[in-house]
Structure 1
Amino acid sequence: MEFDYDLFVIGGGSGGVRAARVAAGEAGAKVALAEEDRYGGTCVIRGCVPKKLMVFASEYRDMPASARAYGWDIQDGSFDWDTFRARLHAELDRLEGVYRNLLAGSGVETFDARATVKDAHTVTLSTGEEKTAKHILIATGGRPHWPDMPNAHLGMVSDDIFHLEKLPKRILIVGGGYIACEFAGILHGLGCEVTQFYRGAQILRGFDDEARGLIADAMKERGIDLHTGTTIVEMHCVGTAEADAMGQAPVEEVQHGQPGYEEIGKGPVRVKATNGTIRDFDAVFFATGRTPNTEGLGLEELGVELGRNGAVQVDEYSQTKVPSIYAIGDVTDRVNLTPVAIREGMAFVNTVFHGNPTPVDHDLIPSAVFTQPEMGTVGLTEEQAAEQEEIEVYCTSFRPMQSAFAEQPDRVLMKLIVSKASRKVLGCHIVAPGAGEMIQLAGIAVKMGATKEDFDRTVAVHPTMSEEIVTMRNPTRSR
C-alpha cells in the first residue's frame, strides 16, 4: 500500500517536533505534523519556559535587601506585571517561530489543525482532509486537571496564569505538587498574598522527605500561608446574592460562556476549608495534577490500550498494541519531563527509521523543582532506598555564606544516599539556589554508577555550597 507519508505526528510539542524533524532531516522520511494549538507545546508555551521566566522575575523581590546588606544603596522597587507580561508573550511568540522554522527547514509538512485517528494508517484533520501514513506518532501531551466539585469554574489552572490581565492581590493555590509549590513561590515573589492548601501531610509527595520538609519550612518563612491536611469544602462567588437579586442563575448553574458568568466571575471567591476557615480570595488556582490528552482521538476504537487516566499504554519502544501507532511524551504518563519526551522521540526514530531498536531509558533521570529555594534530585529518595537495601545517609544542612553574611535565614541541604553493599550513590538531593544547575552535573556521576569513595576522591571547589557534596566523610545515619 502506498501512503501519503512515512510518518504522521499528532502534536507539535517538544517530543513530537524533535521526532518529526529528525525523521525527516536525518532519516530522509516523508513526514507531516498536525498541531491544533501553538507549536512548542506545554513546555514552551504554557509550562517550563514561561514558568522559569516568572521564577527569574519573582526572585528580584529580595535582591534590594540582600544588596543593602552588602553595602549597596538600593531601594525597594515595584513589579509591573504589564511590562513583564508583554515581554513574556513576545518571547513565547519568538520561540514558537523557532519551532515552526525547525520543522520547515527539515522538510516537515505542517497542518494547523486538530488530527484524530481514523484507522491504523489514516488521520482525519479538522479541515476535513484525510491523510495516510505508514506510521502514526501520538505526541499530544497533557492538560491541567480540573477538580470535580461545584463551582470549580470559578477557579483557574496553570494554563491561565500566563494570561492574567492583572495579578490577584489574594490567591489560593490548591495542590501540593511541584506546579503548586513553584507558583506559590512565584506569585509570592511578584507581590501576591499566597495561601496554599494541600490535602496531604506534606507537600511534594514522592520527593525525599527531608528535602521537601526544608522547602516547606522555607516557604512558610518567606510568608506563604501553607496549610497541609487541608482542602476546599465549598466555594462560591461573593456576588451570589447580588446575582440572585438581578434574576441571574445561581453560581452553581452558571458555566463559562453562559449569561451571568462574566458578572459573577469578576467578584471575589469565598472558600470554606476543611480546617474550618472561611476566607475570600481574588483568585483560586487549582494545581491538582495533569491528564493525558487522548480524549476524542479515536484511539480506543482502534484497539490502542489506554490507562485509567487516559494515558496511552506503550512498550519499551513506545509502540502501542496497534503496530503502526506509537506514542511519546506526557500522553503516555511515564516520566513527564520535556527532556524525556525528546529522548523518547529520538529513540522512536532510531527504532523505526534507522533500524536500530532503542528502548527508552527512564532510569536515574535528574530533575529540578523551581521552588524557592530550588530542589535538584536524581536517583532514589532515602525512603525508597531504605525499602530495598541497607543504606548510609550523608547529609548536611547549613546557611550558605551569601545568606549568612546578609543575616538571612535561608538554609540549604546537600544529601547523598549510599548503598552499604556496593558503595554506589543511589540518590543525590540538593535544596539550594541553583540546585537545578548542580544536579545536572551530579546526575552524570550517579548515572555512571559512582561510589561514595569516588565522590570523596574529588577535590572540593572552595568556597562553594556544592563542595559539601564531596566533603561529607561520616554518615549522618544508617538504615
Structure 2
Amino acid sequence: MAEFDVDLFVIGGGSGGVRAARIAAGHGARVMIAEEYRMGGTCVIRGCVPKKLLVYASHIQHEIEDAAGFGWTIPQATFDWPTLIANKDKEIARLETAYTANVEKSGARIVKTRAVFEDPHTLRLATGETVKANHVLIATGGAPNHGRAIPGIEHVISSNEVFHLDKLPKRIVIQGGGYIALEFACIFAGFGTDVTLIYRGENILRGFDEDVRTHVRAEMEKDGITILTGCTVDKVDKHVKEFTTHLSNGSSIASDQVMFAIGRHPNVANLGLEKAGVAINPANGGIAVDHFSKTSVDNIYAIGDVTHRINLTPVAIREGHAFADTVFGERQVKVDHADIPTAVFSQPEVGTVGLTEAQARAQFSHVDIYKANFKPMKATMSGRDTRVLMKLVVDATSDRVVGCHIVGDGAAEMVQLVGIAVKMKATKADFDATMALHPTAAEELVTMRIPSARHVRQAAE
C-alpha cells in the first residue's frame, strides 16, 4: 500500500460522502475527503434541512389563523424575513460544524478544495497538490437545472439562491411541478406571497399516484396558489426591480422574483472523469454504476445524486455506508432501492411508499384500492377548508399492501412507519388486525374495510 497516499479519497462532503468517509475510517482505512464549498452538501446547506426550517416558519401563519376557532386571539402577529434567514443560517452553520467534527473524529482528513482526476488513482487538488488513492468515491451530488436557455434566464433564481433572498417577495413565479417547486410555492404562500406555479405537464407531481396529484393540487389552489399547467416560461424581462414572465400560452405575469425548479442534473462536469475512464449512463446523465455502486473502473465508485438513481439523502447515506462496508469492511452489502418512503413537504404534506395504483395494476392481475377522504378533526374547530387523503394499494391475490399514499398533516411521519410494514410485506389482514389509536388521522389506515375500487386484469385471449 506504500504506493498510495490514502486508501480512500472521497470527492464531495455531502451526506453520502461523509457517511462513507466515516465508516471507511472506522474500518481502519486512511481516508481523505475533498469539499470545495461547505461540509454537509446540498441537503444540509441548501436543501432538505433549511427548506424544512422554512416550511415550519411558513406553517405558523396557518396556526395563527386556526387559533381563533379554539378561542385564542393573537393580536399584532408580525413576520420578519431577515430574522428567519439569520436564524436559519445560524442553524446551518452549527450543522456544518458538527459534520466537520464528526469526520475529523473518525480519523478522516478533510481538504477544503476541489479535486479532479488525473488518472484512475491520481487526484489533483486546486491547491496544486496531487494525491494517490487506492480507491476513489465520487459523491458530488447534483445541481439545479434551468433547462433550455430562454431569453432572460440570467434573471431566474434556483433553489440555491432562494435561501439567501434579502427580502420576502410579494409576488413570485415558480416554474416546476415536483418536490422543490411545490414546497417553495407553499412556503411563500404561507408567508403571504402571491404565488403562481407554472408546469408544462397536465398536472403536478408527475410519477406520484393520480389521487395524490389531484388532491394536492386542489388543496394548494384552495390556499390561494395559482397553478397553470400545460405551459412553460418562454422569456423573462426585467424592469428595474420587477420582472415580467412570458408564457408559452401567450400570457404574461408580473412578479418580484422568478424561480425555476424544473429538475436537477448530476454534478459530473469538470471532474476529469474522461481521464479516469469513468463511464456516464446515457439514460440519465449520471455516473454509471452496478449494484455495489462500482463504476466502469474497478477502483472508482459513485453514490448519491451524481448517479441519478434515486435522488434522496437517506439513499445516498445508505449507499455510502454500503460502499464502505463492502470495500473496507470485508462484507458485501447491496442497497435495496425498492419501497423507499418519500415525502413532499408541501402544505398539506405528502407521504408515500411503494407502488401507485397505476403501477400496481400494471404489475398485478387483481388490485384492491382502499381510500379515505375526510375532514381532519382539527379543521372541524378551526374552520379551515381542507381534507385528508389516505390510500392503500393491495395486491388482492396475496393480500399484501404494496403501496400507501397520504396527504395531510403528519403524512411524512406516518409513512415512515408504514414503510416498515410495506418493507416487511405486511398484508391487509395485518393492517386490519392492528387496533386503531383514537382519535388520530392515522387510525384510518387500519379501519378501512371495504375496497373503494377493485381492478381485475383480463387474461389475454
Please give the range of the TM-score, normalised by the shorter of the 2 chains. over 0.9
Measured against aligned partners, the alpha-carbon deviations of 1:30-80 in whole angstroms (never above 9, x if no partner) come to 000000000000000000000000000000112122111001122352210
Within the candidate set 437, 447, 450, 1:471 is matched to 447
Runs of 4+ in 1 over 4 A off after TM superposition: none
Q: Does structure 2 conserve the Cα–Cα contact (< 8 Å) formed by 1:64 and 1:76?
A: no
Conserved? CA contact 1:30–1:108, under 8 Å:
yes
Write the mapping of 1:158-173 to structure 2, written as runs, cut at 5 A: 158-173=159-174
Tell whether the 8 Å contact from 1:311 to 1:331 is kept in structure 2 after alignment: yes
Aligned to 1:254: none
1: distance between equivalents of 2:244 and 2:280? 38
What is the match of residue 363 of structure 2? 388
Give, as a single letter, the amino acid of the residue that structure 1 aligns with 2:82.
D
Residue 348 of structure 2 corresponds to 373
Does the Cα contact within 8 Å between 1:460 and 1:471 map onto a contact in 2? yes
Task: Choose from 251, 264, 269 the match for 1:295.
Answer: 269
Of 413-422 and 147-156, more deviation after overlay is shown by 147-156
Moved more, 272-281 or 330-339: 272-281
CA distance in 2, matches of 1:298, 1:307: 16
Indicate the residue corresponding to 1:251 in structure 2: none
Match in the other structure for 1:310: 285
1:279 matched to 2:280? The reply is no
Aligned partners of 1:73, 1:10: CA distance in 2, in Å? 53
Extract unaligned runs of 5+ from structure 2.
456-461
Letter in structure 1 aligned against 2:167: K
Q: Which residue is equivalent to 2:459? A: none
Where does residue 443 of structure 1 map in the other structure?
419
Query: Structure 2: how far apart are the matches of 1:163 and 1:407?
Result: 35
Report the 3-state secondary structure (helix = DSSP H, G, I; strand = E; otherwise coil) of the residue aligned with 1:97.
helix
Give the whole-Å Cα distance in 1 for the aligned partners of 2:435 and 2:291. 39
| Counterpart-to-counterpart distance in 2, 1:267 and 1:186 | 22
Structure 2 distance, partners of 1:66, 1:109, is: 50
1:28 is paired with a residue whose SS is: coil
- Find the counterpart in structure 2 of residue 244 from structure 1: none
Contact 1:293–1:310 under 8 Å retained in 2: no
CA distance in structure 2 between the aligned counterparts of 1:300 and 1:119, rounded to whole angstroms:
9
Q: Which amino acid aligns with 1:226?
A: I
1:94 Cα shift? 0.6
Unaligned 5+ runs, structure 1: 239-265
Aligned with 2:376 (options 400, 410, 424): 400
Deviation at 1:22, TM superposition (A): 1.1
Counterpart CA distance in 2 for 1:444 and 1:18 is 23
2:204 match: secondary structure: coil
Shift of 1:232: 1.4
Cα deviations by residue, 1:367-391 (Å, 9 ceiling, x for unpaired): 1110100010000001111111120
Aligned residue identity for 1:392? D
* Higher deviation after alignment, 140-149 or 440-449: 140-149
* Alpha carbons 1:64, 1:75 under 8 Å: kept: no
Deviation at 1:168, TM superposition (A): 1.2
C-alpha separation in 1, matches of 2:271 and 2:6: 19
1:96 aligns with 2:96: yes
Are the aligned partners of 1:295 and 1:310 in contact in 2 as well (CA < 8 Å)?
A: no
Q: Distance in 2 between matches of 1:413 and 1:193?
A: 26
Residue 276 of structure 1 deviates from its aligned partner by 2.5
Could you tell me whether the CA contact under 8 Å between 2:344 and 2:351 is conserved in 1? Answer: yes
- TM-score by length of structure 2 reads 0.96
Q: Deviations over 1:343-368 (max 9, x none)?
A: 00111011101111111210110111
1:325 to 300, 303, 325: 300
Q: Quick one: which amino acid aligns to residue 40 of structure 2?
A: G
Is 1:457 aligned to residue 458 of structure 2? no
TM-score by length of 1: 0.93
Aligned partner of residue 196 in structure 2, secondary structure? strand
Q: 2:377, 2:168 → 1: CA distance?
A: 34
**Worse-matched range after superposition: 61-70 or 452-461:** 61-70
Q: Structure 1: which amino acid aligns with 2:211?
A: E
User: How far, CA to CA, are the matches of 2:202 and 2:93 in structure 1?
Assistant: 40
CA contact (8 A) 2:220 2:347 kept: yes
**What secondary structure does 1:158 align onto?**
coil
- Whether the aligned pair in 2 keeps the contact of 1:115 and 1:124 (CA below 8 Å) is yes
Q: Secondary structure of the equivalent of 1:340?
A: helix
- Give the Cα separation in 2 of the matches to 1:333 and 1:91: 29
Larger mean Cα displacement after TM superposition, 286-295 or 65-74 = 65-74
Letter in 1 for 2:352: T
Query: Which AA in structure 1 matches 2:67?
Result: A
Letter in 1 for 2:30: K
Say if 2:429 is the partner of 1:428.
no
Cα separation, 1, equivalents of 2:231 and 2:210: 19
| TM-fit CA distance, 1:233 | 2.4
Quote the offset at 1:464 in angstroms.
0.4
SS of corresponding position for 2:259: strand
CA–CA distance in structure 2, aligned partners of residues 442 and 301 of structure 1:
45
Name the CA shift for 1:446/1:76 in 2 (closer, same or farther; >3 Å).
farther
From 386, 395, 407, the equivalent of 1:419 is: 395
Partners of 2:254 and 2:390 lie apart in 1 by 39
Residue 42 of structure 1 is matched in structure 2 by: 42
- Correspondence for 1:54: 54
**Following TM superposition, by how much is the alpha carbon of 1:23 offset from its aligned partner in structure 2, in angstroms?**
0.8
- Rounded Cα–Cα distance in structure 1 between residues aligned with 2:384 and 2:192: 19
Q: What is the aligned partner in structure 1 of residue 212 from structure 2?
A: 211
In the alignment, the residues of structure 1 paired with residue 114 and residue 454 of structure 2 have an alpha-carbon distance, to the nearest angstrom, of 54
**3-state SS of 1:187 partner:** helix
Spell out the pairing of 1:238-249 with structure 2 (5 A cutoff).
238=239
State the alpha-carbon separation in 2 of the partners of residues 121 and 436 from structure 1: 42
CA distance in 1, matches of 2:7, 2:141: 22
- CA apart distance, 1:307: 2.5
CA 1:217–1:46: 2 relative to 1, 3 Å: same
Distance 1:35 1:166 in 2: 30
- CA displacement at 1:470 relative to structure 2: 0.2
1:235: Cα distance to partner?
A: 2.0
Per the TM alignment, residue 279 of structure 1 is displaced from its structure 2 partner at its CA by 2.1
CA distance in 1, matches of 2:23, 2:147: 38
**2: CA distance between counterparts of 1:90 and 1:10?**
26
Question: 2:62 is aligned with what amino acid?
Answer: D
**Aligned partners of 1:76 and 1:441: how far apart in 2?**
39
Q: Is the 8 Å Cα contact of residues 11 and 139 (structure 1) preserved in structure 2? A: yes
> What is the correspondence of 1:70-219 to structure 2 with a 5 Å cutoff?
70-75=70-75, 77-148=77-148, 149-219=150-220
1:195 maps to a residue whose letter is T
Give the equivalent residue in structure 2 for 1:258.
none
Distance of 2:413 and 2:194 partners within structure 1: 29
Q: Give the counterpart of 1:340 among 315, 334, 337.
A: 315
